């Protein structure tokens, strides 16, 4: 009994911590914005003020597991979680998929949250292969998208939009990205967090921080 209570306390602490972040009607602890930052000077009321332009995730056009073109429009005004995987992976990818099932189930009825999973092996991961993989994880259409397309396009998204890999490459034949990272992007397309998609507690932190972004949207 005592061990059970201790385990519950350990798992509940992240959620409790984030619930306590909101100490007033419009007060909460904001999340960091990741990526390059560019200072820009502008004049406000006759005074020069230095503002910051943050990196924003760019547009894309890829094919879903249903062979439908999916663009950045599916993320407009929404919070989204991004990962890069391949269906034949036997190490980190199955664990990441299991954790994303948790995210999907937690926010199943929240239309403001979507998941984008990109294959890094588009040669093998055809639309039909992705569809079977999506179905095996009970992915909800319109909630969890499995995406494929030109390899160079996908790898450019991974490196230059989501900063998922520090390695250099051009998406060529010998180029390969294999990362356990999940990326959290807010409704303004700013990156707000990176998480170990194989780690239960880090994914719990991701889910808690989605709540923080939702508070941010309402204030």
The structure's pTM equals: 0.84
Mean pLDDT of 115-123: 97
Q: What letter does residue 14 receive in the DSSP assignment?
A: H
On whether residue 8 sits in a domain, the answer given is: no
Q: What letter does residue 55 receive in the DSSP assignment?
A: P
Q: What is the pLDDT of residues 120-175, one digit of tens each?
A: 999 999 999 999 999 999 999 999 999 999 999 999 999 999 999 878 888 888 89
Number of domains in the chain: 1
Contacts of 126 (CB under 8 A, 6+ apart): 148
Q: What is the pLDDT of residues 187-203, one digit of tens each?
A: 999 999 999 999 999 99
On whether residue 6 sits in a domain, the answer given is: no
Structural domain including 207 reads 61-217
On whether residue 70 sits in a domain, the answer given is: yes
- Residue 40 — very low, low, confident or very high, per pLDDT cuts 50/70/90? confident
On whether residue 204 sits in a domain, the answer given is: yes
Angle (nearest 5°) at CA 57 between 77 and 135? 70
On whether residue 24 sits in a domain, the answer given is: no
Q: How far apart are CA 122 and CA 28, in angstroms?
A: 41
CATH number of the CATH domain containing 155: 3.40.30.10
Q: How far apart are CA 171 and CA 176, in angstroms?
A: 7
Q: How far apart are CA 144 and CA 101, in angstroms?
A: 9
Whether 210 and 113 have beta carbons less than 8 Å apart is answered as yes
Residues facing residue 34 across a β-bridge: 191
Q: How far apart are CA 89 and CA 183, in angstroms?
A: 19
Residues facing residue 51 across a β-bridge: 40
On whether residue 1 sits in a domain, the answer given is: no
On whether residue 38 sits in a domain, the answer given is: no
On whether residue 209 sits in a domain, the answer given is: yes
């Amino acid at each position: 009994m005592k061990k059970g209570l201790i385990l519950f306390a350990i798992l509940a602490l992240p959620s409790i911590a984030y619930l306590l972040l909101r100490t007033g009607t419009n007060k909460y602890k904001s999340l960091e914005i990741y990526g390059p930052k560019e200072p820009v000077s502008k004049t406000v009321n006759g005074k020069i003020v230095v503002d910051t332009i943050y990196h924003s995730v760019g547009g894309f056009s890829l094919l879903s597991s249903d062979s439908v073109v999916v663009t950045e429009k599916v993320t407009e005004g929404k919070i989204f979680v991004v990962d890069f995987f391949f269906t034949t992976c036997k190490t980190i990818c199955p664990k990441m998929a299991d954790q994303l099932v948790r995210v999907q189930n937690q926010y199943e009825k929240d239309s403001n949250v979507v998941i984008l999973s990109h294959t890094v092996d588009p040669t093998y991961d055809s639309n039909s292969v992705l569809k079977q993989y999506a179905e095996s994880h009970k992915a909800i259409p319109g909630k969890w998208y499995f995406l494929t397309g030109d390899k160079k396009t996908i790898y450019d998204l991974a490196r230059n939009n989501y900063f998922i890999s520090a390695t250099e490459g051009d998406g060529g034949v010998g180029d390969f990205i294999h990362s356990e990272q999940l990326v959290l992007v807010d409704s303004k397309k700013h990156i707000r967090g990176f998480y170990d998609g194989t780690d239960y507690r880090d994914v719990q932190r991701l889910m808690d921080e989605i709540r923080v972004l939702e508070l941010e949207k309402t204030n």
